[in-house]
Structure 1
Amino acid sequence: MSGNTITHEPKPAVAPARRQNRTAVSPTRAARELGLKRAEFDLAVHLGLVRTRRDEGGEGRCVARAEIERLRHQEGFPQELRERVTSVGTREGAEIMGVTPARFTRLARLGLVVPVAYYLNRYRAVVWRYLACELRQFADSRENAALLKRPLPPGLRDQLEAGVDLRPRNWRGRYLGFLLRQADDPWERAACVASLLDPIQVSEIVTDPYERAHLNGFRQPPPAHGAPGSPAAHLAERIATAQDADEIDWLRADLARTVQEARIHRPAPRPAPPHSGRRHTREPHPRLAGHRGRPTPRECEHPAPAGRTHILLSRLFGRGD
Structure 2
Amino acid sequence: MPVGTVAPTHHPTLAPSRAARELGLKRGEFELAAHLGRIRTVPDPDGAGRRVPRAEIDRLRATEGFPEALRQSVATVGTTAGAAIVDVPAGRFTRLARLGLMTPVKFYVNRYRAVVWLYLAEELREFAADGKSAALLTGRMPEGLRDQLAAGLDLRARNWRGRHLGFLLRQADDPWERAGAVAAFLDPTHLADLVPDPHERSHLHRFRPGPPAHGTPESPAAHLAEKIMTAEHPDEIGWLRNDLARAVDEARAHRPAPRPAAPPVRHPPRLISSTARNRPSTPRCDPPAARTAERPRGLLGRLRGRGPRPARA
Q: Flag whether TM exceeds 0.5 (same fold).
A: yes
1:81 is matched with: 70
Task: Quote the offset at 1:76 in angstroms.
Answer: 1.6
TM-score, length-scaled by structure 1: 0.78
2:218 is matched with: 229
Task: Quote the offset at 1:272 in angstroms.
Answer: 3.2
Q: Could you list the runs of 5+ residues in structure 2 that have no partner in the other structure?
A: 1-6, 268-313
1:142 is matched with: 131
SS of alignment partner, residue 113 of structure 1: coil
1:97 is matched with which residue: 86, 105, 110? 86
Once structures 1 and 2 are overlaid, which stretch shifts more, 73-82 or 166-175?
Answer: 73-82
Do structure 1's residue 163 and structure 2's residue 142 form an aligned pair? Answer: no
2:143 is matched with: 154
1:115 is matched with: 104
Amino acid at match of 1:216: H
1:60 is matched with which residue: 49, 64, 82? 49
SS of alignment partner, residue 129 of structure 1: strand
Q: Could you list the runs of 5+ residues in structure 1 that have no partner in the other structure?
A: 1-13, 279-321
- Taking the aligned partners of 1:241 and 1:57, their CA distance within structure 2 comes to 30
Once structures 1 and 2 are overlaid, which stretch shifts more, 269-278 or 133-142?
Answer: 269-278
- Taking the aligned partners of 1:205 and 1:163, their CA distance within structure 2 comes to 30
Task: Quote the offset at 1:271 in angstroms.
Answer: 2.2
Task: Quote the offset at 1:57 in angstroms.
Answer: 3.2
Amino acid at match of 1:144: S
SS of alignment partner, residue 22 of structure 1: coil
1:209 is matched with which residue: 183, 189, 198? 198
Structure index of larger Rg: 2
Task: Quote the offset at 1:32 in angstroms.
Answer: 1.0
- Taking the aligned partners of 2:221 and 2:102, their CA distance within structure 1 comes to 25
Q: Structure 2 matches for 1:264-275, cutoff 5 A?
A: 264-273=253-262
SS of alignment partner, residue 220 of structure 1: coil
- Taking the aligned partners of 2:47 and 2:238, their CA distance within structure 1 comes to 37
Q: Which deviations, in whole Å up to 9, do the C-alpha atoms of 1:138-191 show, x marking residues without a partner?
A: 000111100001211100000011111100111011110111110000000000
Report the count of equivalent residues: 262
Amino acid at match of 2:136: L
Amino acid at match of 2:74: V
1:188 is matched with which residue: 170, 177, 194? 177
- Taking the aligned partners of 1:57 and 1:188, their CA distance within structure 2 comes to 17
1:198 is matched with which residue: 175, 179, 187? 187
Amino acid at match of 2:251: A
Task: Quote the offset at 1:25 in angstroms.
Answer: 1.2
Change (3 A) 1:191 1:58: closer
- Taking the aligned partners of 1:160 and 1:100, their CA distance within structure 2 comes to 17
Do structure 1's residue 48 and structure 2's residue 26 form an aligned pair? Answer: no
Change (3 A) 1:224 1:277: closer
Amino acid at match of 1:137: E
Task: Quote the offset at 1:83 in angstroms.
Answer: 1.0
TM-score, length-scaled by structure 2: 0.80
- Taking the aligned partners of 1:152 and 1:29, their CA distance within structure 2 comes to 48
2:18 is matched with: 29
Runs of 4+ in 1 over 4 A off after TM superposition: 273-278
SS of alignment partner, residue 212 of structure 1: helix
Task: Quote the offset at 1:207 in angstroms.
Answer: 0.7
Question: How large is the RMSD of aligned CA atoms in angstroms?
Answer: 1.9
Change (3 A) 1:58 1:256: closer
> Identity over aligned residues, as a percent?
64
